[in-house]
A and B are shown apart, each in its own frame.
Chain A
Amino acid sequence: MTQGATRISEEKQDAQPAVEARPTIEQSKASSILRVPPEPSQPDNAWIDRARRFYRLGIQISSRDEGLDPSGFSWEGSVPAAVTPLRKLKPGLPAVLIPCEDDAPPAVRPLPEVLEGAIESIRSSGHPARLLGDLVDRLVRRIARRTKDNSALLHLREVAGEEATALIKDLELVGEARDSLSEDVERLLASLSLGWRLVGPGVAADLIAVEVLRQSREPARRRLLREAATLAEKVEDLLRLDAGKGDSPELPRDLQSGLGHVGSRHVDAEALARVHPDRKANRFDPARRKRLHKTASVLRDWIEKNRDGPLPAHLVTGPEKATAFDSQQMEALDLHRHSRPLEEATELYLEIARPVVEFARALRIARLEATATYRAAIHDDAIESLDWQAIKPDELAVVPPVIVLLGGLGLDSTDIGDLSHLVWSGRPVLVLATGVTPDDEEIGDLSRHQPTLGALLIALRYGWVLQSSIARPTHLTGGLLASDPCRPGLVLLASAPGPSWAEAAASGRAWPLIRFRPTGHESGESGMDLDDNISLESDWPKFSLEVEYPKSPGTLEVSLTFADAAMANATGREHVLPIPPECWSESQTPLAEWLRHPERDSATGPIPFIWLADGEGVLWRAVVSRALALASLDRLRAFEHLKDLAGVGGPNTLRVRTQARDEAMAEAVAEKERLEKERDDAVAQALEAGARNAMSGLAAALISSDGVLPLVGRAATLSASQAKPSEDAPAEEEEPAGEKEAPEEPEIILDEPWVDTPLCTSCNDCFKINELLFKYDENKQAYLNDLSKATYAELVKAAEICPAKCIHPGRPDPDDPTATPEMIQRGKPL
């Protein structure tokens, strides 16, 4: 597009509007005032120079504060054009946190998937649920709207019920449509478990972290709870056995009681005791008895504390930092405030882990004692030296999570030092940094966009990193669920100033979604996972916008760059200059292309711009300042670096791939040349041998008496034998399977009357014969409704009159008085 202003018109003018093409708020707004401005008569050179100066020097425009540029551009309602397609992608839909049920691990699933799965199960039980299936998108949207503005973890069933009821009311459905939808909604709600919670972009990140971490540890906790109960019982059995032993022989009395009245008639316990006069029970030595007592006590205490309620959690934050828990009560939660929260958490973890270490020791002792394999000489020291670093991951998983809530990226050197210390200590503390985006007061500080904390942790290689966004609840919760409970972790969450910005940032490489596991490569995979980023293979996500050019509709390719993402908030506003069509020139190039342009840094090189859509849907070029352009270049390089780490197409990966491909190609070419040479040699040899044979044949013919060429005779014989297939060999070409005669299908004779519903043409004729017998389905096609209200004669008449011949009367009921021989005769061919 080189000339004339364009206007966004996502609703194609020529399209037969379908469901997805219905106008959105902005579409309808744009289309209602759609107009094509005339082409500029001549370019405005002064403005073109001004645009170049802005790019080079970043000269601001004084009247910007008044909300109107000298160019006539109004910032009111404006958005970067490249972020508008995100509206259709709707990646920010809430996730459903499915808690640990029975022994199944907890899971996170996108809301649409959960609801569609529930509808599928309704369908499999014989209910078509067509209306509900059609409306599920709307239900999802409504629920998403509820979660967006709600900071609590809502119950899915409750919210779905309320929103479905409101939806039915708003749709103003009547009659059967309303009734059937209401019934299907009831079935849907019944299939949703009570404990399923909604995680939307409005939920506070610390709430999500606490809830998800608790859930992630729940399976291990339950498993250990059961094992601890069994082992405690066994240890107590041992203690009871020990207590039952006396100093005097107990055999006669015990044996007699054990044998009972009948057994005693055959065995004389007293006599047996006399045979073994010195027999008596040996009691445990005191050290073992003490060990067993302590073990049983620790296990019982732990069981008692963990039987009910959730796993406790500890939050550590700065003295002034407000948390979501200030306004919401949450069970088993301790909030610690400290001037140096990272240092405090490092120490706190040891304190929290101590009882768990004690429990782990008791568990080990009990396991050994239960199998009578405890050897004091070996195990005493080993168990005594057990600390939190040595216990197993599933045991460590029951340590109450310690979570540090950090404000943003504004960490001072002390914080950075504390963070490094925490990571190197290896203590599995979770650090949660939210609100890492700049506030409105910090307009223009592009360096604030750089999420360097994640890079720091990745460089330290000891903790896991989850860089996520509140706009991607599934990524966030899924990453937390899959986190390593044995290592420190950092969660960086794009949140402020809201989900809209967060989504633009996540998509525009400003805040790429990262999952880093320091031990990932040990399982043969990359430790870095970038899979949830849009258009991973390209520099920036690309979209094709439907726009109306001055003369006809068309499309415009746009890239969602870092500059677009920065512009989605007011942050980058000072770094662009919207210019009217009169100022457009060939020297201006889209930023995504500028970043790859060879003349990028030349004084006479191109000027980068992005597309802005104003409040009325008119597209404007907005020249990007050099600072913002270079910041975009930096983000592009950072993302390429991440892609290299993940092995998914960064420059180094591509270089290695190209090198490998070149090597493989070289090998293939060499092999091809070798084979060709072999072939040429073989051909030459064959020609030589053939010539020799021909010469021999010719010589033989010349000297033969009858003059018949033996070679010809052999060739003829050979052709004949080749033409005739060998009897022994299997036939080379079998008859195609399709041409074989298909086995005759057995004729199906149904006794019951039936209607071939898909063939019904809705002509109403059968209704006129008996309107109680036939009924229309939701596609307005007939089926048999109530056979008890019909006679055989009516069925035959309906079948005869049916133009689609889709009614089949079946065999008559012997008790039906209308099934006269004549009627049966008429019904036979039907």
Chain B
Amino acid sequence: MYGLKLDWMETPEAPYYTLEDYTGPEARWCPGCGDFAVLTAAQRLCRDEQLAPEKTVFVSGIGCSSRFPHYMKTYGFHGLHGRALPVACGIRARRPDLNIFVATGDGDCCSIGSAHWIHAVRYNMRMVVMMFDNNVYGLTKNQTSPTSPEGLRTYTHPRGAPIEGMDPLQVSLAVRGVSFIAQTVDFNPQHLLATLTAAYHHPGFAFVRILQRCPHYTPRAFAPLQENPSMMSLLVHPDGIDGGESMTRLFPNRIEHDPSDLRGARVIAEAEQGIPVGLLYKNDSVPRYDHASASGLSATREDRVKLLEQQLDWFRI
């Protein structure tokens, strides 16, 4: 039959997902761990965006936070130490239809995985990277991590870390190809969810650093921020992260910052005073490596043979 059929305007009934559809087994993190807040935020994000569990994958490396995929009732990949991002890039390269989230810690991402991290930023493949930064190696019981502040006493450095830790924001912002950098805190679930939601909607590599306490080894790492919110600066802009009044009420200090301003973002990241919270940088037009890698995905075997033969014909004598 030619022409519009009676059911042409219908859409098939899609399943509706509740929070339970994303909730895996009971999480086994230490009591009071900040990972719980991120887990709930991720589940709420999936529910709010109605992401099909079978089309969603959480990838992780090694560390406390890297247990994340086990607690999501979606697909997951618990990879090697520092190799969460290469695995995620591989998935994105061949499965452009999936929603990809990466759970990685400060040790996993910024130490053994630092080379992958820099190149993943450069590739700008679409995914959401949740970098859990608790300033310490927790799973292996209290060693100095790349982001541990100077003076932090750990088993590696009982007298305190001798040098200042690195700043993942500055590193990321320095990489050519960066397209989305945000920072949030685990103790404000509204802001955390709003940040992850913005990251999810970003068409590229969305890097979110989550300042998150380890109740066991760095319980006071971010407690001053919680007790005195004026130590943080909320980045506000119409193109920034909008979480409503219930989110912003906890931030007395606010800085107007246009997230398209890369130079401004670097200045904010380098500032000594005021931990920035919000969207530092966003650029939707950065080229993406997954566009190139996904080329020809839909070609059938016959098509590929045909194309190959066409190419070979150029060399025919």
Q: Could you list which residues of chain A lie within 8 angstroms of chain B, going by C-beta atoms? A: 11, 13-19, 22, 24-26, 28, 34-36, 38, 75-79, 83, 86-87, 90, 92, 131, 134-135, 138, 141, 145, 148-149, 170-175, 177, 498-501, 503-504, 548, 551-552, 567-570, 573, 758-765, 768, 778-781, 801, 803-805
Question: Is B187 a contact partner of A780 (Cβ separation < 8 A)?
Answer: no
Task: State which of B11-19, B153-161, B164-172, B173-181 sits at the interface with chain A.
Answer: B11-19
Which among B4, B6, B31, B291 is the interface contact of A83 at CB below 8 angstroms? B4
Interfacial residues of chain B within 60-76, with CB under 8 A of chain A in the complex? none
Are the CB atoms of A141 and B4 closer together than 8 Å?
no
B122 at the interface (CB under 8 A from A): no
Residues of A with C-beta under 8 A to B250: 759
Interface centre among B18, B201, B291 (most CB of A within 10 A): B18
Question: Total contacts A to B, CB within 8 angstroms?
Answer: 171
B residues near A568, Cβ cutoff 8 Å: 3-4
**Contact B2 A551, beta carbon cutoff 8 Å:** no
**B205 contacts the other chain (CB 8 A):** no
Q: A38-B303, A77-B1 are in contact. List 10 more A-B contacts (CB 8 A).
A: A16-B126, A24-B12, A79-B3, A79-B4, A138-B13, A175-B20, A568-B3, A759-B189, A759-B190, A804-B37
Q: Which of B11, B36, B215 has the most CB of A within 10 A?
A: B11
Q: Which of B8, B31, B186 is within 8 Å of A768, CB to CB?
A: B31
Which residues of chain A have C-beta atoms less than 8 A from B6's C-beta? 148-149, 498-500
Q: How far is the CB of A553 from chain B (nearest CB, A)?
A: 8
Chain B contact residues: helix, strand, loop or mixed: loop
- The listed residue (B1, B14, B20, B188) touching A177 by CB distance below 8 A is B20
Expressed in whole angstroms, the minimum distance between the Cβ of A164 and any Cβ of chain B is: 13
Q: Is the CB of B2 within 8 A of A34?
A: no
Q: For the complex formed, measure the closest distance between the CB of B201 and the CB atoms of chain A, giving whole angstroms.
A: 7
A34 close to B19 (CB less than 8 A): no
Is the beta-carbon distance between B34 and A803 smaller than 8 angstroms? Answer: yes
CB contacts (< 8 Å) of A174 on chain B: these are 20
CA distance in complex: A17, B46 (Å): 11
Among B43, B51, B189, point to the contact of A761 (Cβ < 8 A): B189
Interface contact A177-B203, CB-CB below 8 Å: no
Most chain B beta-carbon contacts within 10 A, residue among A17, A38, A138, A768:
A17
Residue of A170, A173, A762 near B37 (CB, 8 A) is: A762
Contact: B299 with A35, CB < 8 Å? yes
8 A-B pairs with least C-beta separation: A761-B37, A500-B4, A762-B40, A763-B36, A34-B298, A75-B2, A803-B32, A19-B50
Alpha-carbon distance between A134 and B213 when the two chains are bound, in angstroms: 34
Q: Is the CB of B200 closer than 8 A to any CB of chain A? A: yes
Task: Name the residue of chain B whose CB is nearest to the CB of A758.
Answer: B246
Chain A residues whose C-beta falls within 8 Å of the C-beta of B306 in the assembled complex: 38
25 CB-based A-B contacts, threshold 8 Å:
A14-B294, A16-B51, A16-B126, A17-B99, A34-B298, A38-B303, A38-B306, A76-B2, A87-B8, A138-B13, A141-B10, A141-B13, A172-B15, A177-B18, A499-B6, A500-B5, A500-B6, A504-B4, A758-B246, A759-B250, A762-B37, A768-B31, A801-B31, A803-B213, A804-B37
- CB contact under 8 A between A14 and B13, given known A38-B310, A501-B4, A762-B40: no
Chain B residues with CB below 8 A from A34, complex form: 298
* A residues in contact with B7, CB < 8 Å: 25
Q: Which chain B positions have C-beta within 8 A of A14? A: 96, 126, 203, 288, 290-291, 294
B1 x A19 contact (CB < 8 A):
no
Min Cβ gap B315→A in Å is 17
By a beta-carbon cutoff of 8 Å, the part of chain B in contact with chain A is 1-16, 18-20, 27, 31-34, 36-37, 39-40, 43-44, 49-52, 55, 96-97, 99, 126, 186-190, 200-201, 203, 213, 215, 226, 246-247, 250, 288, 290-291, 294-296, 298-300, 303, 306-307, 310
- Report chain B residues within 8 Å CB of A760: 189
Closest chain-A Cβ to B231's Cβ sits at a distance in Å of 16
Q: Which residues of A contact B19 (CB under 8 A)?
A: 778-780
Pair A87/B16 contact, Cβ less than 8 Å = no
Q: How far is the CB of A170 from chain B (nearest CB, A)?
A: 6
A149–B7 Cα distance when bound, in Å, is 10
| Docked CA distance A135–B50 (Å) | 11
The residue on A at minimum CB distance from B201 is: A16
Q: Inside 8 A of B8's CB, which chain A residues have their CB?
A: 26, 79, 87, 500
Q: Is the CB of B4 within 8 A of A17?
A: no
Q: Beyond A16-B126, A765-B31, is A90–B18 a contact (Cβ under 8 Å)?
A: no
Question: Do B11 and A141 touch across chains, with their CB atoms under 8 A apart?
Answer: yes
**B291: chain A residues within 8 A (beta carbon):** 14, 552
Could you tell me if B12 and A758 are in contact, using CB atoms closer than 8 angstroms? no
Residues of B within 8 A of A765 (CB): 31-32
Name the residue on A nearest B44 (C-beta). A779
Residues on A with C-beta less than 8 A from B226 are: 805
CA A22 – CA B52 in complex, angstroms?
A: 10
A573 and B2 contact, CB distance less than 8 A: yes
User: How distant is the Cα of A779 from the Cα of B48 in the complex, in angstroms?
Assistant: 10
- Please pick, from A18, A79, A801, the residue contacting B32 in the complex, using a CB distance under 8 A: A801
Instruction: State the Cβ distance, B13 to closest chain A Cβ, in Å.
Output: 6
> Which B residues are in CB contact (< 8 Å) with A90?
9
